[in-house]
Amino acid sequence: MKKSKLVIGISSRALFDLDESHKIFERDGVDAYREYQILNEEKILNPGNAFGLVKKILEINNLYKSKDRVEVILLSRNSADTGLRVFNSIEAHSLDISRAVFCGGESPHKYVKDFNIDLFLSSSNEDVRMAIESNVASATIISGKSNFKQDSHLLKIAFDGDAVIFSDESEKIYHEKGISAFIKNETKGEKISLEPGPMKPFLMELNRLQREFTLDECPIRTALVTARSAPTHKRVIKTLREWGVRIDESLFLGGMSKEDFLKSFQADIFFDDQLKNIQDASGKITSAHVPYGVKNEVK
């Protein structure tokens, strides 16, 4: 039976602003980094790019008697010694995070399956790629303007379609043969469901949680924000219907820039496989790159 808990794994650099100490690590090495963190371990870290998202996710527990429907776990490359500042900051910001892994410079991706993590967010593209290879929904938080603003308790999550929710099978055709071949393939195969992409399991788990509430009371709202347009929208709609997945809002933009639409949706996070789209959006909302598919093949 499927566990009745949504579990998010997050790195310390995605949760808090560790840019200053990371520069010390890159410039002066691990010993200087350790000394700096110990010297400043009572100095509380400022929120990072995913802080607002994590805070809203944890607040969902307030809607349950058990207070255990959602969990956030810290997965860090820090050692426990240097990670003490992170835990001090978690406590100071009143975040209900009690489980953590400190890997002493190694990648924590190997523990994502042990914790049954549904989504892994990190500032390390390498860690994210390895987690995706382990079939765990994962994305790289891109540095940008912090989205920490608690004007609404509604958690809003936006997804791109191809190579994110769905596989990159259709994107490959577009990439290799152009738009005409892409449209022809999608209209011809509109009754054939798209194969799942790396974010499908996380979307399914979100849906499971959403169905525990009425539409008016649901604390989560999702959006599909895709470059597709008519007539290629049909295959997407029919695939989601076949999966039994509810998407609250669907934006078929036909190649238009996504950033203004994401701002209007007030997304707490946006997932896309194309780095340019993420970089464009990161100035306005928290954005996460999904390094998967033909656009992200390592050359």
Token pair recorded at residue 42: 């009572």
Token pair recorded at residue 286: 């928290």
With a cut of 50, which residues of the chain have pLDDT below it?
Answer: 1-2, 146-148
- Is CATH 3.50.50.60 the right assignment for the domain spanning 155-296? no
pLDDT attached to residue 151: 60
Q: What is the pTM of this model?
A: 0.93
pLDDT attached to residue 297: 84
pLDDT attached to residue 71: 96
Are 111 and 75 in contact by the 8 Å Cβ rule? The answer is: yes
Domains 6-142 and 155-296 agree in fold: yes
Q: Which residues contact 7 (CB under 8 A, 6 or more apart)?
A: 70, 71, 72, 73, 115, 116, 117, 118, 119
Among the listed residues 28, 31, 127, 160, the single catalytic one is 160
Are 160 and 272 in contact by the 8 Å Cβ rule? The answer is: yes
160 is catalytic: yes
pLDDT attached to residue 299: 61
Domain definitions of the chain by residue range: 6-142, 155-296
| Alpha-carbon span 84 to 89, nearest angstrom | 9
pLDDT digits (tens, 9 = 90+) for 171-195: 999 889 999 999 999 999 889 999 9
pLDDT attached to residue 145: 61
- The CATH number that domain 6-142 falls under is 3.40.50.1000
